Structure 1
Amino acid sequence: MAKGEETRQFIIEKAAPIFNTKGIAATSMSDIMEATKLSKGSMYVHFENKEVLACAAVDYNVKVLSSKLQAALSKAKTSKEQLFAYIDFFSDPLQPPVMGGCPLLNFGTEADDTNPIVKEKVNTAIRGGQQLLSGIIENGIKNKEFKSDLVPADFATAMFAMLEGGHLMARMSGNNAKMHIISKTLKNLIDQNSI
């Protein structure tokens, strides 16, 4: 990696948790300069403006989340175990896998009416999460782990929405009680649809 690319990556890695915690609008280039100890001139050599850096930070946060999730899922041997691992991965919103909380929820709620580029990035990640879950369920049906009348895309959508909603509830209330209910409910639904 060339020196310029290293510096660019360093800025993204330092900026990503700040954007995810404070939000795009509330994060200033001064916040990033303080975190990186780089001058304004150096920042603008690598990013023409805050918007470009924010988009890179969104991509980075989603990539970190995805990598950690894939690592958790890779330990599971069956489709059912993968679904349970997915639930467990998101079961503690107060200690989230990505600093600042779920980047899809954070950036999505901020960008839905204000930033079409970030909105599309988040929407793409949401579709990817649902496709991942749907694929796990399809494999489970094929391997005779799940009932054949379980509709993978429908269950994936409901599961994804319940976990995101639970994340929001937990972060707002400051406790994981509602997320525990959601996790238990989802696991019961998976058990009910298991063969």
Structure 2
Amino acid sequence: MGKAERTRQFIIEQSAPVFNVKGLAATAMSDVMGITKMAKGGLYGHFESKEDLSRAVVDYNISLLISKVSQVVAGAETAREKLFAMLDLFSTPVQFPVEGGCPLLNFGAESDDTNPEIKKKVRETILGAQKRIANIILDGIEKGEFKPNFDSKTFAIKTMTIIEGGTLIGRVLGSNSQMKLMMDMLKKEIEEELI
């Protein structure tokens, strides 16, 4: 990675939490200048516009989230353990695994009526996450861990909906207690599907 690429990556990594906390519209280039200690001209030497930086930051935050999920899933052996590890990762919305909260929730809510490109990225990520959850279940069925009639698609949709809704509620209330109830409910449902 050359110096220009390293500087570009530095700008993205430093400003990603700011965008995730303040939002795409509310984050100003002066915020980015403050966090990176770079002049405006230096920033625009790496990004054509704030929108260009915004797209890079959304990609970075989403990639960071996917990476954290991949790490916990890779550390588990059985399908049950993989699902539990994923649920545990999201069980504390107040201490969300990505600084500033869930980028899918934050950027999705902000862009649903204003930015079709970012909305599409968030949509694809949600659908990808649902597919990943469903595939873990299907793998568990194939290996004889889960009952053959475990509805992988419905469970995946339910899980993502609970994670996103529970994250919003937990962060607004400043409490992890309601999400813990939801995660325990999902874990119980997984246990009931074991052979």
Q: Taking structure 2 as the reference length, what is the TM-score of the superposition?
A: 0.98
Distance in structure 2 (CA, Å) of the matches to 1:164 and 1:181? 14
Amino acid in structure 1 at the alignment position of 2:81: E
1:28 maps to 2:11 = no
Q: What are the ranges of 5 or more consecutive residues in structure 1 without an aligned counterpart?
A: none
Which residue matches 1:77?
A: 77
- Matched length: 195
Other structure's SS at 1:94 match: helix
Distance in structure 2 (CA, Å) of the matches to 1:185 and 1:151? 16
Amino acid in structure 2 at the alignment position of 1:155: F
Which residue matches 2:95?
A: 95
Distance in structure 1 (CA, Å) of the matches to 2:124 and 2:62? 10
Amino acid in structure 1 at the alignment position of 2:29: M
Which residue matches 1:45?
A: 45
Distance in structure 2 (CA, Å) of the matches to 1:147 and 1:53? 46
Distance in structure 2 (CA, Å) of the matches to 1:167 and 1:46? 33
Query: Per-residue CA shift, 1:15-49, capped at 9, x if unaligned?
Result: 11100011001100000011111111111111111
Q: What are the ranges of 5 or more consecutive residues in structure 2 without an aligned counterpart?
A: none
RMSD (Å), alpha carbons: 0.7
Distance in structure 1 (CA, Å) of the matches to 2:158 and 2:111? 23
Other structure's SS at 1:46 match: coil
> How much has 1:75 moved relative to structure 2?
1.4
Distance in structure 2 (CA, Å) of the matches to 1:154 and 1:76? 23
> How much has 1:157 moved relative to structure 2?
0.7
Distance in structure 2 (CA, Å) of the matches to 1:185 and 1:152? 16
Which residue matches 1:59?
A: 59
Distance in structure 2 (CA, Å) of the matches to 1:106 and 1:58? 10
Query: Per-residue CA shift, 1:85-132, capped at 9, x if unaligned?
Result: 010010001111100001100100011011111101111111111111
Distance in structure 1 (CA, Å) of the matches to 2:116 and 2:100? 22
Q: Taking structure 1 as the reference length, what is the TM-score of the superposition?
A: 0.98
Distance in structure 1 (CA, Å) of the matches to 2:162 and 2:16? 26
> How much has 1:145 moved relative to structure 2?
1.0
Amino acid in structure 1 at the alignment position of 2:82: Q
Distance in structure 1 (CA, Å) of the matches to 2:147 and 2:68? 29
Which residue matches 2:150?
A: 150
